[in-house]
Amino acid sequence: MVKIYSVDSFKLVYREIIASSFLVSIASLALFLRLAARWAKRIRLWWDDYTIIAVWIILWAMFVIQIKYAQYGSGDQMTTIPPDNVILMLKILPGFQLLWGTAMSLAKFSYMFFYLSVFKASERFRRLTFGCMTIVALWWIANVFQIFLICRPFKMNWDSTAKGTCGNRPLTYALVGAVNIATDITTLLLPVPTVWSLQMPKRFKVGITAIFCIGLLITIISIIRMQSLIVLSFTEISSSMVDPVFWTVVEPSLAVTNACLPIIRPIIAIILPGHFFSSAQKTPKRGQGSGSGSTREFRNIEEDGGNYPLSPLNAGMTTSHVVSDQKTWNNVGGATAAAAMDTDDDSQRRISNENTGPLGRITRTTEWEVQR
């Protein structure tokens, strides 16, 4: 008979559930802001949005499983927990692993779909991204195979009395986690060289790179999770599974939050104006000098047009030179002939035709004004 425990029966388990609930809530808020930003800008959802929504749904399922594990006696000793509880926890474990692998794979796909939507011009970058997608897909397939084939027959995952064999499950989990860490690092650092090759202010490059590198926190969590799996003992599964279950929920929750950060950057800019994430900078006052006592700041060119002179190379000297090039063609019966006639001004030249015709004259005037 299955015994139901209170979730606060063991302090460590209860504290980890509180921490997980906080991180899952942050991930949910980040996803809500992401969708709100898409709606505000009237941008249709794309594959990067759909995949991260799927990760969020899986995350909630994993969080529910973490709570169920606490109710089934996670944290208790094998000598005191009912055998039916242990069997139930072991039956849930393969599905929990499958949810984790699927969530992390879809999270990486969401990142890379986002890269493809932003960096469309670079064919080399697109090939690299598709190559990383292939590696992640193969990793997911390998993870599925190890879940269903590591114990033969499959029921040996929870029934140790069945005739058959099981591989070294903790070692297998660690190897799968190691490949996951490698793909984490590759996926998160993939766009950094492309970002720094763009023509934009350095502070923007630093801000965007910082958003991507926040994802390296996920790699740290992956390492901690892998270490907890190495010491996992199936002879004391109820007490040794507490930390692995917790870190397995933390990892996709951070992945959802991190995937939403680039999309909600304008909202972050409103909350934290003037930081790396903000593209709206303070506009210098009219007439403000550019000497040592002034501050040079980036200012977007206004869309209503106007003249934007270059910064003076010599503050004490201003030279203006106007060049005018005027050409006139006369067309007679579809044939055009031109003869040059210089005026008194060396900077102006008129090209005219001595012939006149019924089609009249076409005049083109081009002027250049250079200020320095």
C-beta separation of 62 from 26 below 8 A: no
Q: What angle do CA 232, 233, 236 make, to 5 degrees?
A: 125
Higher-confidence residue of 130 and 279: namely 130
Confidence of residue 111 (pLDDT cuts 50, 70, 90): very high
Confidence of residue 256 (pLDDT cuts 50, 70, 90): very high
Q: Does the structure show a pLDDT above 90 at 344? A: no
Q: Quote the CA–CA distance of 262 and 110 in Å, as a whole number.
A: 12
Confidence of residue 63 (pLDDT cuts 50, 70, 90): very high
C-alpha pair distances (Å), 333 with each of 118, 328, 329, 364: 53, 16, 13, 20
Confidence of residue 316 (pLDDT cuts 50, 70, 90): very low
pTM for this entry = 0.72
For the segment 131-164, what is each residue's pLDDT rounded down to a tens digit?
999 999 999 999 999 999 999 999 999 998 888 9
For the segment 236-253, what is each residue's pLDDT rounded down to a tens digit?
999 999 999 999 999 999
Residue 354, burial from CB neighbour count under 10 angstroms (0-12, 13-18, 19+): exposed
Higher-confidence residue of 22 and 363: namely 22
Q: Does the structure show a pLDDT above 50 at 55? A: yes
DSSP string, 255-302: HHHHHHTTTTHHHHHHHSTTSTT----PPPPTT---STTS-----PPP
DSSP, collapsed to helix, strand or coil, labels residue 199 as coil
Return the pLDDT at 190. Answer: 87
Higher-confidence residue of 157 and 290: namely 157
Mean pLDDT in residue range 64-81: 94
Could you give the count of Cα atoms lying within 13 Å of 252 in the half-sphere of its Cβ? 32
C-alpha pair distances (Å), 360 with each of 332, 333, 349: 8, 11, 20
Computed over every residue of the chain, the mean pLDDT equals 79
Return the pLDDT at 364. Answer: 63
Percent of the chain with pLDDT over 90: 48
| Beta-ladder partners of 327 | 351, 364
Return the pLDDT at 135. Answer: 96
End-to-end CA distance of the chain: 89
- Tell me which residue has tokens 């139901």: 4
Mean pLDDT in residue range 77-94: 93
Of the listed ranges 22-31, 98-107, 173-182, the one predicted with least confidence: 173-182
Put residue 334 in one of left, alpha, beta given phi > 0 → left and psi -120 to 50 → alpha. Answer: left
Q: Does the structure show a pLDDT above 50 at 307? A: no
DSSP string, 30-93: HHHHHHHHHHHTTPPP-HHHHHHHHHHHHHHHHHHHHHHHHHTTTTS-TTTS-HHHHHHHHHHH
Of the listed ranges 134-148, 281-295, 326-340, the one predicted with least confidence: 281-295
Q: Does the structure show a pLDDT above 80 at 257? A: yes
Q: Quote the CA–CA distance of 86 and 7 in Å, as a whole number.
A: 16
Amino acid at 131: G
Mean pLDDT in residue range 332-347: 44
Q: Does the structure show a pLDDT above 80 at 282? A: no
User: Quick one: fold of 11-271?
Assistant: Rhopdopsin 7-helix transmembrane proteins (1.20.1070)
